[in-house]
Amino acid sequence: MINFIVAQTDLKAFITIDFDGNLTPNDLKSVQPPDPIAGDFAKKLVILSGRAPIWLYAFLVHYYHPVKAVAVFDPRLDGGVVVQSHSNDYSVGDLVRFD
């Protein structure tokens, strides 16, 4: 089972992926991440984090398409890299902090 731990500020949501054992592609058919439309997600930058297969991230990036912007946290850079944006507040390739 894949869990998602959410921390939020007024402008950002930091979502950490957490799971036990190994994932299989089939897990994508039942995964239930926090709804991008519910709450205030749609108005925020969503930063995805956690150790997970690239295909889980790829699924989540598409899943969170409705939100203001999506970033992927890179521990080497100590920040999130914006990979899609529907707002003038963020541009693809920006490095953003969660604070």
Interaction with a second copy in 10-29: which residues (CB under 8 A)? 25-29
CB closer to a second copy, 5 vs 55: 55
Rounded CA separation 12/15 (Å):
10
Alpha-carbon dihedral sign for residues 46, 47, 52, 54: positive
Among 54, 78, 97, 99, binds a second copy (CB under 8 A): 54
Beta carbon nearer to a second copy, 10 or 78: 78
Does 53 bind a second copy (CB under 8 A)? Our answer is yes
Query: CA triplet 35, 90, 3: central angle to 5 degrees?
Result: 30
The answer to whether 1 contacts a second copy (rule: CB under 8 A) is no
Q: Which alpha helices (DSSP H) does the chain contain, by range?
A: 54-63
**Which residues are paired to 79 by β-bridges?**
74
User: What does the binding site for a second copy look like in residue numbers (CB under 8 A)?
Assistant: 25-29, 48, 53-55, 57-59, 61-62, 65, 70-72, 74, 77, 81-84, 91-95
